[in-house]
Chains A and B, each alone.
Chain A
Amino acid sequence: MIDVNKTGRKLLQRHETYLVLLILVFSAIIANASDAFLTSGNLLSVLRGGSGIGILAVAFFVALIGGGIDISFPAIAISGQYIAIRTMLALQLDSIGIAFLISITVGIVFGLINAFFITRFRIQAMIVTLATSSLFHGALLEFVGTDSVNVGRLPTSITDFGRMTVFQFQTAEGPQGLSIFVGILAVVVLATWFLLQHTMLGRGIYAIGGDAEGAKRAGFNVTRIQYFIFGYVGFLSGIMGIIHVALIRYAHPANIVGDNTLLRVIAAVILGGTSITGGRGTLTGTMLGVLLIVLVDRHLIMLGVPPAWTNFFVGVVIVVGVVATHLRMKFEKHRRGELTVERAH
């Protein structure tokens, strides 16, 4: 038996409901302005292009749930990618497995370096990762190089990987398929969901984000969990590094760190309803946040917004989304009868 009224009320209390509505409204507006939006080709391309951001958002989300703001993922992703590509070229290795192996190894090692500073000296993750971002990227430029690798020189396994699909079908526009990037994102999301919801390690991550001291008293090994969190961020960043080079078919050590990736990822996770102070948030929300950001990012041009203004409008969406989230939470608290007198300091 389902109580429709109760289910409805629960739905209204969920942040995700509002995000879905927002996405639908925005999609309707673009669909109305351009016939090109609701084509299978365009939608598949949105998913393919957004997968990398999605994986990084999962990484940032996991760290945030555990109470840490890790902003080193762009530097880690590009380090993994560029070291993998240059190694493959130097040693004449041409295998996508090796690409992932190298990139992920670099990612995990860099993540563990973050974890070392965070746990050993008890410094806030944001400060540590701000410093190590610069350190990782600087070391990459100094020790690995600054040459760009364009599509002609890229190992063919990388470009082949970019064309792989997990699922094909025929359309009026010709054969189409769902990119393997989306498949990888799906596996990452499912695995992370299982980890967070159904393992003690995952509950420990939530517990640390809720009250780190309490987690320690409850018997969680807080240090070990933190090593896991930042190692996992590195692992996912390593995966994204390879996806990114396969997507744009061009490797350059200023990619990912030099564009708006960091901002887009943080915006997606915050829009997704994850608390910036840790412990609260859902993967569903995060994925919806990513979808919204990617949609806005790629389709403003269909609404006639000049490309130079795209950043501005993404900014508007973030500000509106964050303020709306804040107001909704405040309203919820008020409804529960908590004193809301604003006190000056």
Chain B
Amino acid sequence: MAEPILEVRNISKSYAGVQALRDVSMSVAPGEVRCLVGENGSGKSTLIKTIGGAVVADAGEIVIGGTSFGSSVHPVEAIRHGIQIIYQDLSLFPNLSVAENISLNGMIEQSRRLANWKEMRRIAQDTLDQLDENIDVDMPLDHCSMAQRQIVAISRALTQGAKLIIMDEPTSAITAEDVSRLFKTVRQLNAQGVAMVFVSHKLDEVFEIADTVTVLRDGQKVGDYPAQELDEDKLTFLMSGQNLEFKPFTFDPEAEGAPLLLETRALSLRDQFSDVDLKIYGGEVVGLTGLVGSGRTELALSLFGLNPADHGEILVDGKPVKITGPQDAKRYGISYLPEDRHGQGLFEDQTIADNVVVTVIDRLREFLGLVDNRKREGVWRQWIERLRVKTPSAQNMVSTLSGGNQQRVVLAKWLAPEPRVFILDGPTIGVDVVSKARIHDVVQELARSGIGVLVISDEVTEIMQVCSRALVMQEGRIVAEFKDLQSVDGSEISKVIAREENAEVVS
């Protein structure tokens, strides 16, 4: 075997008493694709930051291309020795051109004084050609799609002589089609001897691209496994240390005599969706899926009053109501869990407890309008326990939590008002399998308690696992309904979403 391009030996790191990494070793060979998997908080980020020099380990050794750097490597040294880390935000400049984004870093490293545009364009063009990518190098980066931006980030890494590129969750922000393009690029790079490390949550992708899978759990390495020897159940078990069971959910509102909680009749909003007839019964989990731009999120926002419809009716308990703002929606018992939990879901620099109670603050007031602290504590205790938020103290800032735990706090926040209809938009985006399974359990438990749940998701498997009934949107209309998800195959739904089948499907 060739000499490894990177070796980390017995790395340990703790933050404020929490052991983030314990005695972790890993070795990556040239031209290899390695996947680094683990639950949120298992130490993946800490490990890649240690390799890139952004975090200083407490103990251990980092060896890059045969050169030992002791327990910590300076970021510039890591780059000089061919290590490139592409974080999720990509660190690109939206206001500069593709050419500049690709070639600036290399020019800075050479301490250039003048910006040679011809040379920058040529370097960018050559690198893109090498990857068989056709992107206009003069285009401003903010005109590029997410997938193109990733290619730009990879190209930039290559111009700096990358021998190992580490990508942090590269597939969570791009479509399935773009993922396969990205993988094609990755294979090309491997053929040229460049090694890749993927940090990923999505197991099916891990199997598609990886040679070897390194699993971390609670800061310790579980082991390295050849990808062919693993399947989803096995990997899930390795990551979580337990077997997760997938429990399908069935519910027939008519047979159960369930109450009709929310109904829309010919609900429309110009340019976004039209003639939407939707029914949500107490006790069911309705899935709503469709491509980005099909109108699903816009529809959900309308039901919550953030994007009021201009035609049609909304009925709550059979009575027509007007919902023109979130306050109306709240009054009628409708809660909405937003897609973008950082932007809309959480106050990250406030405590976990405050985030949970913010939606019910009106109810916690005693006379004089002050907040009753005992009631307040009752609310957050109840929800933190019910949703099993993992934290030493509810008085910690939300930003100290891992992604999966943050998502549970968002859930708690919107469940605290005790809604009757709960809309979840992309509830498991960016969370690992284990957290995902727990969130699915919570959703089904909510439905069993009589709440009507609407889940919006891109993933057909998620819809199949968590919902009892599913709707598909296309260009602003509901085009198909699957009444009994146990009797359909996921691929049928995928076909309707991709518009390969265009009929009014009712099963």
Pick from A197, A200, A206, A337: contact of B112, CB below 8 A.
A200
Interface residues of A in 190-225 (CB under 8 A from B): 197-203, 206-207, 209-211, 213-215, 217-220
User: Do the beta carbons of B105 and A218 come within 8 Å of each other?
Assistant: yes
A219 to B159, CA, bound (A): 14
Q: What is the number of contacts between chain A and chain B, taking CB atoms within 8 Å? A: 71
The distance in angstroms between the C-alpha atoms of A214 and B297, with both chains bound, is 31
Identify 18 residue pairs between A and B in the complex whose beta-carbon atoms are under 8 Å apart, listed by A's number. Answer: A198-B115, A198-B117, A199-B113, A200-B107, A200-B108, A200-B112, A206-B93, A207-B96, A209-B95, A210-B94, A210-B95, A219-B76, A279-B93, A339-B293, A339-B297, A341-B297, A341-B298, A343-B301
Q: Which of B93, B109, B112, B306 contacts A210 (CB 8 A)?
A: B93
Tally of chain A residues near chain B (CB < 8 A):
28
Chain B residues within 8 Å of A200, by CB: 107-108, 112-115
Is B96's CB under 8 angstroms from A210's CB?
yes
Known: A339-B293, A339-B297. 7 other contacts (CB 8 A): A198-B114, A201-B113, A202-B115, A207-B93, A214-B91, A218-B105, A279-B94
Does B490 reach chain A (CB closer than 8 Å)? Answer: no
Min CB gap B326→A, angstroms: 7
For chain B, residues 334 to 355, give those with C-beta under 8 angstroms from any C-beta of chain A: 344
Give complex CA distance A210, B104 in Å: 14
Q: Is B105 within 8 A of A219, CB to CB?
A: yes
A 34-59 to B, binary, CB cutoff 8 A, 1 in contact else 0: 00000000000000000000000000
The 5 closest A-B pairs by CB, nearest first: A279-B95, A210-B95, A210-B93, A219-B108, A214-B91
Q: If A200-B115, A220-B108 touch, does A343 touch B307 (CB 8 Å cutoff)? A: yes
Q: How near does chain A come to B167, taking the closest CB pair, in angstroms?
A: 16
Q: Which of B69-119 contact A (CB under 8 A)?
A: 76, 91-96, 100, 104-105, 107-109, 112-115, 117
Question: Is A341 within 8 A of B115, CB to CB?
Answer: no
Say yes or no: is A252 at the interface (Cβ < 8 Å to chain B). Answer: no
Let me know if A217 and B95 touch, CB within 8 A.
Answer: no
B15 CB → nearest A CB, Å: 21
Q: Is the CB of B325 within 8 A of A344?
A: yes
Complex formed: what's the CA distance from A200 to B143 in Å? 23
B272 within 8 A of A: yes
B96 and A206 within 8 A (CB)? yes
- A336 at the B interface (CB under 8 A): yes
CA distance A197 to B96 in the complex (A): 11
Q: Please, what's the 1-or-0 string for B31-60, where 1 marks a CB less than 8 Å from any CB in chain A?
A: 000000000000000000000000000000
Q: Shortest Cβ distance from B340 into chain A, in angstroms?
A: 9
Question: A339: which B residues are within 8 A, CB to CB?
Answer: 293, 297
Out of A206, A218, A342, name the residue touching B91 (CB < 8 Å): A218
Closest CB of chain B to A195's CB: distance in Å? 10
B269 nearest CB neighbor, chain A only = A341
A280 within 8 A of B: yes
Question: How close is B168's CB to chain A, nearest CB, in angstroms?
Answer: 14
Contact digits for B264-278, partner A, Cβ 8 Å, 1 yes 0 no: 000000001000000
Q: How far is the CA of A208 from the CA of B64 in the complex (A)?
A: 31
Known: A341-B298, A343-B344. A199 touches B114 (CB 8 A): yes
Q: Which residues of the partner chain A approach B114 to less than 8 Å between Cβ atoms?
A: 198-200
A204 to B165, CA, bound (A): 25
CB distance from A334 to the nearest CB of B (A): 10
A214-B92, A343-B344 known; A203 and B298 CB under 8 Å? no
Most buried by A among B91, B92, B107, B326: B91
- Contact A218–B104 (Cβ < 8 Å): yes
- Cβ-defined contact, A199 with B93, below 8 A: no
Contact between B115 and A199 (Cβ–Cβ < 8 Å)? yes
**A219 vs B107: C-alpha distance in the bound complex, in angstroms?**
10
The minimal Cβ–Cβ distance linking A79 to chain B, given in whole angstroms, is: 32
| A203 / chain B contacts, CB cutoff of 8 Å | 96, 100, 104, 115
- Chain A contacts of B76 at CB under 8 A? 219
- Check A217/B91 contact, CB under 8 A, given A198-B115, A203-B104, A343-B307: yes
Residue of B nearest to A342 (CB): B307
Distance from B287 Cβ to chain A, minimum over Cβ atoms (Å): 21
Distance to closest chain B CB from A215 (angstroms):
8
A213 contacts across to B, CB distance below 8 A: 91
* Residues B301 and A214 in contact, CB atoms below 8 Å apart: no
> How long is the Cα–Cα vector from A343 to B336 in the complex, in angstroms?
13
Q: Which of B284-322 contact A (CB under 8 A)?
A: 293, 297-298, 301, 306-307
B454 to chain A, nearest CB (A): 18
Residues of B within 8 A of A219 (CB): 76, 105, 108-109
In the complex, A217 Cα to B115 Cα: how many Å? 19
Closest Cβ of chain B to A331, distance in Å, is 14
Residues of A within 8 A of B107 (CB): 200
Q: Which of B445-491 contact A (CB under 8 A)?
A: none
Q: Which of A198, A200, A209, A336 is packed against the most chain B CB atoms within 10 Å?
A: A200
In the bound complex, what is the Cα–Cα distance between A209 and B76 (angstroms)? 23
B348 → A minimal CB distance (Å): 15
